[in-house]
Amino acid sequence: MQESVPQLIEIFRVLDNHQVEFIVVGGVCAVLHGAPITTFDLDLVHSRTPENLNCLLNALIDLKASYRGHSKRIQPDVKLLASPGHHLLITRFGPLDFLGTIEKGLGYSDLIRNSEKIHIENLGVRILSLEYLIEIKEVASREKDRLTLPVLKHTLKEREKNKKA
Amino acid sequence: MDTPPRLILYSEEDRPAYSEDGVDLTLIRWMLTFTPTERLNILQQNMISINRLKNAGIRAATHRNFPRS
């Protein structure tokens, strides 16, 4: 049965099983840094190397992924996933978005140097640094991105205070 | 008429509860006490709760518009 909210840990587990390289961006990334916000989007930027695209495709087959909002079931393939576009998918664990690139055309290879690896349960998950997430949200033109900015900036400040204390 | 009592207990020694731009700093401090796994679980529970409320609202509206009797 398809879930209407993403089952976050289950999705991360399947991606880990298939050794998919990705970076968590957006609202879930903000929450993992400690920002008290709610989101329904799981946004991931994937590496578009041929090896990773194969791993990703296998993971998406495992997740029974197809593109959301189409009357006909369209399944992702390597050619589609290699594009810089956004792949808005529905899976057996709920909605999941894979993004080839984000603001300013930044892809996985650009973002990795501004990311960090954290542990969720026993899984290693790469997320965008909070500083860089703020930088990206600042240049974003969408109103919804700008709305979360004050919370992200204060989360960073409070985190810095905790480090000093 | 007297001013209603403030709902936030506050003393001068406390760190401010809100930032000047209105962000609830107590929520941020609370979230920062958790591990990433715990934060993800909080988000997951929020998602499920909001979805349940949304579905309950849809059911209530449907019942209002199409009562069985």
Min Cα separation B36/chain A (Å): 5
- CA of A163: which chain B residue's CA is closest? B32
- Report how far apart, in Å, the C-alpha atoms of B3 and of each of A38, A46, A138 are: 33, 55, 39
B38 touches chain A (CB under 8 A): no
d(CA A9, CA A152): 23
H helical segments located in chain A: 8-17, 26-32, 50-62, 78-81, 108-111, 130-139, 143-147, 149-164
How high is the pLDDT of residue B5?
A: 57
% of chain B surpassing 70 pLDDT = 78
Looking at every residue in chain A, the average pLDDT score rounds to 95
Q: How many CB atoms lie within 10 A of CB A102?
A: 21
**Cα–Cα nearest to A126, from A35, A47, A57, A39:** A47
Q: From B49, which residue of chain A is nearest by alpha-carbon distance?
A: A5
* Type of residue at A84: P
Tell me, yes or no, if B31 comes closer than 8 A to chain A by beta carbon: yes
pTM as predicted: 0.90
Q: Which residues contact B25 (CB under 8 A, 6 or more apart)?
A: A154, A158, B15, B16, B17, B18, B19
The type of residue at A164 is: K
Domain A8-164 coded CATH 3.30.460.40? yes
The percent of residues in chain B predicted with pLDDT above 90, rounded, is 52
Share of chain A above pLDDT 90, in %: 87
State both tokens at A129: 């640094």
Instruction: Please state the rounded mean pLDDT for residues A7-17.
Output: 98
Q: Which two tokens stand for residue A115?
A: 């990311």
pLDDT tier at B65, thresholds 50, 70, 90: confident
- Flag whether residue A134 sits within 8 Å of chain B, measured between CB atoms: no
Does B69 score more than 60 pLDDT?
Answer: no
A-B CB pairs within 8 A amount to: 68
ipTM entry: 0.93
Confidence of residue A29 (pLDDT cuts 50, 70, 90): very high
- Using a CB–CB cutoff of 8 Å, tell me whether B39 touches chain A: yes
- Residue A38 near chain B (CB below 8 Å): yes
The CB-side HSE value for A7 (13 A sphere, CA atoms) comes to 13
